[in-house]
Amino acid sequence: MGLFSIFKKTDAPAPQSSNDDDEAARLAANSETERLQQQARQREIARATAMKIDAIESAMTFDIFNEPEPAWGSQRAARPAKPKAATHADGGPDTQALADIPTTLLLRDDDLPQLAVAAETAPVVEEIAILYANGQGAVAEQLLSASLAEAAGDRTVWWMLFDLYQVSGQRDRFDNLSIDYASTFETSPPPWNAPAALAASSPDFAGLTPTEAFAGVLAPHIDAQLERLRQSAAASPVLRLEFSRVTAVEAAGCALLLDTLRKLQAQQRELILVGADGLAALIREGIAIGRRDDTEAPWLLLLELLQLLNREKQFEEISMDYCVTFEVSPPSFTAPHKVATATAAPQHVSASPDRFMLPPLLEGQLGPLLGQIQHYADQYQILVFDCSRLTRIDYACANQLHASLAQLGKKIEFRDVNHLVTALLRLLGYADIARIYPHKY
């Protein structure tokens, strides 16, 4: 048959056969495939939009929305129950009368980001907080999902659901909620930073967290601090390193810190890093492509910090610069093992006292934990409870802890609390005896 014979015109119509059914099925399948591909494209566009919003906001609003935790004495007097002005007989202000204001008024968290929920959602939030506290996470998740549409401009329900997904390790649902969040509020969604893995790493740990705060120049003199840190690692699975007051680095100091960080990681120690991103930026400013006079140590410490911060994209970029500069193969990226970050305090504020880290789960009876807290209270006037690993506290434990803390007569702070636990603490009156700082979204 000739090549063009198949195009010859025929008088008889083409016979009908099962081929028509096959063609119809093929068209239907193609249509379904196109629909799924279109949905996938829309989801990718939404993700890209969220990422773009995130980058813009990070550049424009970092100083506004990422203010460090305030120190004691830096807040205004609480607005509720404002006392009437008192005066002496001569008409001057009675300062003693102001001194007699109940201490609890000075300990409220009114100057924190607004935590009070709208009137129409408050009962729902409280009900969900109690359900979650009592271990009914699945029911709490259903109520949170159903309440999103009714939450209007209030983000409390969204934040609680984000926390529930992170605590339970539901990454896919977290990502889907992030897209809806970015679309609803036209802002960047929270980052995924599940505490569940950290909580599982040392589930029984509670107590003072060994801390080393580095300041000034990162030079050979830090070896004494690093030695204390290594000794603390022998007895504690969790260590806290603060770099927010480092102002300069030397190659020798970088080498010492790099060696210690690698050893702590090899020992499976959980690290809480404060100001690590600032230290990374400081090192980055002092190195240049093609310049070898500072040796490899600053470069390798920068790569180590980026790896601990889980900044894979930046790690790869610096790795290429390192490869070009020293003409060697760069190290490969490895996801960090048991590493968390925390917010740095303002430079003009003295360092916070040692923090008492609460365990991942408080359920049943507090038992020996109350004795540890009492021992902590005997040593410090300001009690700072680190809740970064606390995923849940049940209703009975929360009441028992409140009663114990109320008798101490101390200034108390709860830092890095998830929003599910925050809702329960506020419901049980913790704001009357302590400041509550939920982790920021």
Query: pLDDT of 103-162, one tens digit each?
Result: 333 333 333 433 333 334 578 899 999 999 999 999 999 999 999 888 767 888 999 999
Q: Are residues 230 and 192 in the same domain?
A: no
Flag whether 319 is in a domain: yes
Alpha helix (H) ranges present in 202-269? 223-233, 251-266
- Name which residue leads in pLDDT, 422 or 335: 422
Band the pLDDT of 354: cuts 50, 70, 90: confident
Vertex 190 angle, CA 136 and 74, to 5°: 95
Residue 331 belongs to a domain: yes
Of 276, 308, 342, at which residue does a domain stop? 342
Asked whether residue 77 is domain-assigned, the answer is no
Q: Does the pLDDT value for residue 92 go beyond 60?
A: no
The domain in which residue 123 lies consists of: 116-199
Mode of pairing for the β-strands spanning 339-342 and 270-274: parallel
Name 211's Cβ contacts closer than 8 Å, sequence gap at least 6.
239, 240, 241, 242, 354, 355
Residue 387 lies in a domain: yes
**Tens digit of each residue's pLDDT (9 = 90 or more) over 169-226:** 899 999 999 999 999 888 888 888 766 455 555 566 777 778 889 999 999 999 999 9
pLDDT of res. 221: 95
Confidence of residue 422 (pLDDT cuts 50, 70, 90): very high
Q: Are residues 364 and 329 in the same domain?
A: no
Q: Is 162 helix (H, G, I), strand (E, B) or coil?
A: helix
Task: Say if residue 300 is in the same domain as residue 411.
Answer: no
Give the model's pLDDT for residue 121: 58
* Residue 164 maps to a domain: yes
Residue 233 within any structural domain of the chain: yes
> What's the CA gap between 131 and 274, in Å, rounded?
33
For the record, the structure tokens of 273 come out as 């890093």
Ranking 60-74, 120-134, 331-345 by mean pLDDT, the lowest is: 60-74
User: Whose CA is closest to 202, among 289, 282, 272?
Assistant: 272
Query: Rounded mean pLDDT of 82-107?
Result: 39
In terms of pLDDT, which residue wins out, 17 or 336?
A: 336
Say if residue 366 is in the same domain as residue 319.
no
The mean pLDDT value for 37-59 works out to 53
Asked whether residue 120 falls in the same domain as residue 144, the answer is yes
| 416: in domain | yes
Last residue in a domain, options 308, 342, 376: 342
Cβ–Cβ under 8 Å, residues 334 and 307: yes
Which DSSP state fits 87?
B
pLDDT category of residue 42 using cuts at 50, 70 and 90:
low
Query: Residue 15: how many CB atoms within 10 A of its CB?
Result: 6
Same domain for 217 and 338?
A: yes
Question: Would the pLDDT of 73 be above 80?
Answer: no
Phi, psi for residue 177 in degrees, rounded to 5:
-65, -35
Q: Give residue 98's pLDDT.
A: 37
Do residues 230 and 316 share a domain?
A: yes
Q: Among the listed ranges 40-54, 336-350, 365-379, which one has the minimum average pLDDT value?
A: 40-54
Task: With cut-offs at 50, 70 and 90, classify the pLDDT of residue 239.
Answer: confident
Can you tell me the distance from the alpha carbon of 275 to that of 224, in angstroms, rounded to the nearest whole number? Answer: 20
pTM (predicted TM-score): 0.59
Of 327, 323, 330, 302, give the one whose Cα is nearest residue 314. Answer: 302
Q: Is the pLDDT confidence value at 268 over 80?
A: yes
pLDDT at residue 70 in the model = 43
Task: Give me the CATH number covering residue 225.
Answer: 3.30.750
Q: Are residues 127 and 222 in the same domain?
A: no
Q: Is 214 helix (H, G, I), strand (E, B) or coil?
A: strand
DSSP H helices, 223-337, are: 223-233, 251-266, 276-286, 297-308, 312-326
From residue 248, alpha-carbon distances to 227, 241, 243, 252 in Å are 21, 17, 11, 12
Q: What percent of the chain has pLDDT over 90?
A: 39
User: Do residues 285 and 255 both lie within one domain?
Assistant: yes
CA distances, 296 to each of 220, 251, 318, 334 (Å): 16, 8, 12, 19
CATH number at residue 360: 3.30.750.24
Mean of pLDDT values over 375-384 = 89
Residues 231, 233: Cα–Cα separation, whole Å: 5
Coil, helix or strand at residue 413 = strand
pLDDT at residue 37 above 50? yes
Residues 276 and 183 in one domain: no
167 class by beta-carbon count within 10 Å (0-12 exposed, 13-18 middle, 19+ buried): buried
250 and 332 co-located in one domain: yes
Confidence of residue 434 (pLDDT cuts 50, 70, 90): very high
- The CA–CA distances, whole Å, from 84 to 87, 96, 134 equal 10, 13, 42
pLDDT tens across 269-302, in order?
888 888 899 999 999 999 999 888 768 999 999 9
| Total residues belonging to the chain | 441
242-262 pLDDT per residue, tens: 998 999 999 999 999 999 999
Same structural domain, 227 and 274: yes
On the question of pLDDT at 39 being above 80, the answer is no
On the question of pLDDT at 86 being above 70, the answer is no
In degrees and rounded to multiples of 5, residue 300 shows phi and psi of -70, -35
Contact 132, 164 (CB under 8 A): yes
- The last residue of one of the domains, among 199, 232, 263, is 199
Spatial distance between the Cα atoms of 161 and 142, rounded to a whole number of angstroms: 10
Domain annotation covers residue 190: yes
Q: What's the total number of domains in the chain?
A: 3
